[in-house]
């Protein structure tokens, strides 16, 4: 198993928390929709929590893609630097 960096551990933990928040928000919305008397404040709180978790999850996916592209670009830059160094030494 490969060693995970601190950033990858943090991203996985945040993704897990976001998943739990979305599930919790779905259950709360279902509960409030089935209830006859609904406290509007709690309903909006559940709705805002779920929407925040979904937005945060989307932001996390974008951050993951950008970090992969950054790693790929760093590798390509290292290769080009090495080739340039070899050309100038020859």
pLDDT (tens digit per residue) in 14-38: 878 888 888 888 888 888 788 878 7
pLDDT tens string 42-87: 878 888 888 888 888 788 788 878 878 888 888 888 889 998 988 8
Q: To 5 degrees, how large is the angle CA 24–CA 47–CA 8?
A: 55
Confidence of residue 2 (pLDDT cuts 50, 70, 90): low
What would you measure as the largest C-alpha separation in the chain, in angstroms? Answer: 82
Domain boundaries, the chain: 7-89
State the residue for tokens 């950008």. 66
74 vs 90 pLDDT, higher one: 74
Whole-model pTM: value is: 0.57
pLDDT, position 24 = 84
Strands of the chain, DSSP E: none
């Amino acid at each position: 198993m490969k060693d995970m960096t601190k950033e990858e551990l943090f991203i996985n933990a945040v993704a897990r928390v976001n998943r739990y928040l979305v599930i919790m928000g779905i259950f709360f919305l279902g509960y409030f929709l089935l209830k006859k008397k609904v406290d509007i404040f709690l309903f909006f709180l559940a709705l805002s929590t779920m929407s925040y978790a979904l937005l945060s999850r989307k932001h996390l996916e974008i951050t993951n893609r950008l970090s992969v592209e950054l790693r790929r670009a760093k590798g390509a830059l290292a290769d080009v630097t090495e080739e340039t160094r070899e050309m100038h030494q020859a």
